[in-house]
Amino acid sequence: MSEVDRSAPLLFVINAAAGHQDLEATRELIESALRASSRVGELLIGRPQDLAQVAQKAAANALSRGGAVVAVGGDGTINTVAQAAYAQGCAMGVLPQGTFNYFARTHGIPGDAAQALQVLLSCEPEPVQVGLINERVFLVNASLGLYPELLQDREAWKARFGRSRVVAFAAALATLLGRRRQLRLRIEHGTEVRNVTTPTLFIGNNRLQLEQVGLAQAEALDQGSLAAVMLRPIGALAMLWLLLRGSFGQLGEADSVQSVHFQRMLVTPRLRWVRRRVKVAFDGEVSAMRAPIEFRVAPKPLYLIKPASANGATGQAGGGA
């Protein structure tokens, strides 16, 4: 859907885990912005276990009425709504409430809720590229190995110490210094097949995130590709040095970092004792998926309400296979 009927309601999908006080503040902000713009909207609040179903119904409703579904929350909520919006083919908006908000920021959507509402109420849907991991949508990144472990540890730290970038960084340090297993993978992309040993395989679909750590593959996203980053097997101190280089935007200059761009990549664990289900992370969520794991550029775009891109960055739906 490339246009939104401004007389149709905007369907806001909100995670009930936000807490009563935050929910009330969000409700008041949204309702005030809708009244000021003479627009209509519906707030749909779902428990975490019900959020996917709420999002699916909202996306179907939005499509039938010519409106849009809006994700209100962090990476997990945004991904859940994106799954539904992509499947239905309806337009989607975002009111980001996460820590890093890479998806929103890379598409010009402010982190401030009031400013994000102004974008939502004044802009039109634009096509943006999304990735697929075994047919599940990811917007920012997907990964195997160390990164899923890091995310799980980070959530445990946040539950104990609160949500902040300092806590996230401290959790990352603890994960990197802990015990970890090397992945032994068979990787196929294009005509190339190779066996690799790496602590982590990271797939990026967000130019801002890749640029911040200094990876040149960020430019490949504009040509309808995804970026893959692998680390050679290294020790804990070398891993910490890489983390420091990444914080200064110099990760791409490290000899232990390999990166390629692709449209489709098939990844198969090579060890017999590895279970058929592999732990993966996508957009901040951790799940188990059946191997082999396929990463690819989605064959159609997601239509996101955002400021128009001057250069079309990550705005095209790349080829699929």
Give the CATH number of the domain where residue 198 resides.
2.60.200.40
Give yes or no: residues 235 and 190 share one domain. Answer: yes
Higher pLDDT, 204 or 241: 204
Mean per-residue pLDDT, 153-174: 67
Give yes or no: residues 155 and 291 share one domain. Answer: yes
Give yes or no: residues 107 and 213 share one domain. Answer: no
C-alpha of 319 from chain center: 20
- Tell me the pLDDT of the chain averaged across its residues: 84
Has residue 319 been placed in a domain? Answer: no
Domain that holds residue 145: 137-297
Higher pLDDT, 21 or 85: 85
Position 99 pLDDT exceeds 90: no
Mean per-residue pLDDT, 171-181: 65
Give yes or no: residues 274 and 164 share one domain. Answer: yes
pLDDT bin (cut points 50, 70, 90) of residue 248 is very low
CA distances (Å), 27 to each of 51, 141, 157, 269, in order? 17, 30, 29, 46
Give yes or no: residues 275 and 143 share one domain. Answer: yes
CATH number for the domain including 75? 3.40.50.10330
Position 159 pLDDT exceeds 90: no
Mean per-residue pLDDT, 138-161: 78
Q: How far apart are the first and last CA of the chain?
A: 23
pLDDT bin (cut points 50, 70, 90) of residue 173 is low
Give yes or no: residues 168 and 93 share one domain. Answer: no
Taking a C-beta distance cutoff of 8 angstroms, is the pair 261, 225 a contact?
A: yes
pLDDT of residue 17: 81
Q: What confidence tens digit (pLDDT) does each residue in 53-77 have?
A: 999 999 999 999 999 999 999 888 9
Strand pairing partners for 127? 303
pLDDT of residue 285: 87
pLDDT bin (cut points 50, 70, 90) of residue 155 is low
Residue type, 211: E
Has residue 42 been placed in a domain? Answer: yes
pLDDT bin (cut points 50, 70, 90) of residue 130 is very high
Has residue 57 been placed in a domain? Answer: yes
Position 245 pLDDT exceeds 90: no
Q: What confidence tens digit (pLDDT) does each residue in 40-49 have?
A: 999 999 998 9
Q: What confidence tens digit (pLDDT) does each residue in 254-312 have?
A: 556 788 899 999 999 986 555 578 889 999 888 999 999 999 999 999 999 999 874 44
Number of domains in the chain: 2
pLDDT bin (cut points 50, 70, 90) of residue 14 is very high
pLDDT of residue 154: 65
Position 236 pLDDT exceeds 90: no
C-alpha angle 173/176/177, rounded to 5°? Answer: 85
Higher pLDDT, 214 or 5: 5
CA–CA dist 32, 75 (Å, integer): 25
pLDDT bin (cut points 50, 70, 90) of residue 50 is very high
Mean per-residue pLDDT, 127-155: 87
pLDDT of residue 8: 95
* Cβ-based burial of 182 (10 A; exposed 0-12, middle 13-18, buried ≥19): middle
Give yes or no: residues 79 and 152 share one domain. Answer: no
Position 121 pLDDT exceeds 60: yes
pLDDT bin (cut points 50, 70, 90) of residue 158 is low
